[in-house]
Each structure stands twice: as C-alpha cells, then as structure tokens.
C-alpha cells in the first residue's frame, strides 16, 4: 500500500498540475456526497441539513477553483496549488470543528464519514503542499 502511494505521489510530482484535476474530482465527489447522499439520509448520519449544504457548496467552489487553475494557472500553478492546499486544510479544520460541535447528534456512520473525509483531504493537502515547493518539484524532475 505504501509503495502504491509513493508511486502515485511521484507521478503527481512529475506533473503537479494534475493535482488540480485530482482535487477538482475529489471536491465534486464531496459536494455530491454531502449535498445529495448525506442530505437524503441525514437522519442516518446525523449532521443537520443546513451544515451539509454549506459543506457541499464549499466543496463545489473548490472544484471550480481547482479546475480553473488546471486550465488557466500557467506559470503560476505553485501559488494556485498553495491556495487550494490552504483552503482544503481550512475545510478539514472546519469539518473537524463541526464534528465536535454536532458530535452528540452524529451517528457512528456520520463520524466515520467525516473522519474519513478529513483524512483523505489531509493526505491531499500534504501532497499539494509538497508539490508546490520548488525544491521538491525540481528534485523529482532530475
């Protein structure tokens, strides 16, 4: 598993702009899951509908930003990658705060979903941040 992750990371490091596509696809999936699936089954997961809608719209905004960066960032992709990495980190922090705040109303499935999402987005943040660093990107190109 660790070897596959390292291979995936190295492939992204060779073409870090692809991270915008990965980020956009992940954000669209999050927007769909939180805005449609979790809303439909909010009693099962326990998070209030208004919170799910805000999380979904935020993820949709991130998806649009990442996709725009893929097509239009040009030579400024490192700055754009840092922006989305910070935004994703703030999304993780906000989600963690919401899990803590609404913990008593969340089911175990709600907690597991949001903790899993935080972990996955956290891994993506780590990859994005490392890829945006000039010395690391140059090291992988050599």
For the chain, which residues make up each domain, given as ranges?
Answer: 18-141
pTM above 0.85, yes or no: yes
| pLDDT single digits (tens) 108-122 | 999 999 999 999 999
| pLDDT single digits (tens) 83-108 | 999 999 999 999 999 999 999 999 99
| pLDDT single digits (tens) 121-141 | 999 999 899 888 876 445 544
Task: Yes or no: say if 113 and 101 are a contact pair by the CB < 8 Å rule.
Answer: no
Angle between helices 49-72 and 18-32 (to 10 degrees): 160
């Amino acid at each position: 598993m660790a070897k596959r992750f390292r291979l995936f990371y190295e492939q992204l490091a060779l073409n870090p702009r692809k991270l915008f596509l990965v980020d956009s696809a992940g954000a669209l999936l999050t927007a769909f899951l939180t805005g449609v699936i979790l809303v439909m089954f909010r009693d099962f997961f326990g998070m209030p509908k208004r919170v799910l809608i805000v999380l979904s719209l935020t993820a949709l905004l991130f998806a649009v930003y990442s996709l725009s960066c893929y097509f239009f960032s040009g030579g400024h992709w490192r700055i754009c990658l840092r922006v989305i990495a910070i935004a994703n980190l703030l999304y993780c922090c906000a989600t963690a705060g919401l899990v803590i705040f609404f913990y008593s109303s969340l089911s175990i499935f709600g907690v597991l979903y949001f903790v899993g999402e935080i972990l996955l987005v956290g891994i993506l943040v780590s990859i994005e941040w490392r890829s945006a660093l000039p010395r690391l990107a140059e090291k992988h190109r050599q």
